[in-house]
Amino acid sequence: EGKFLSLGHFEKDDLATVADYLTGNTRVSRIGLWGHSMGACTCLLYAANGGDQVASAMVLDSSFVSLDVVIAETAASAKQKLGESVAPAITLMPDMFIPMAVAAIRRSIQN
């Protein structure tokens, strides 16, 4: 449990560290991965970065499809929870700004 989460981006590195440790252990002959939600995404990202050569099997349940979908769902949930009485500006924010914000964040990360 940390203060921030990266939706699998940095967690895949944690998984790689554990897998490296286990493959170095002579008592471990195979590694299987199970992930639910963000854990499933973490396993997929790990596999996409070479982990598919390490893991013998993966059981993945309910991974998210895309970061854009996760952000849109999180924003919708926040709007609903906060309500107009707490933050009227949030409820007025058009959903069209979400993809624009995600694109800006991606550009800043790539730079």
Residues 79-93 pLDDT 10s:
777 665 555 555 566
Q: Full-prediction pTM beyond 0.85? A: no
- Judge whether residue 13 has pLDDT over 90: yes
Using DSSP, state whether 55 is helix, strand or coil: strand
Q: What is the DSSP letter of 97?
A: H
Give the pLDDT confidence score for residue 96 in this predicted structure.
72
Residues 14-28 pLDDT 10s:
999 999 999 998 899
Which tokens go with 66? 């895309």
| C-beta separation of 41 from 63 below 8 A | yes
CA–CA dist 18, 54 (Å, integer): 11
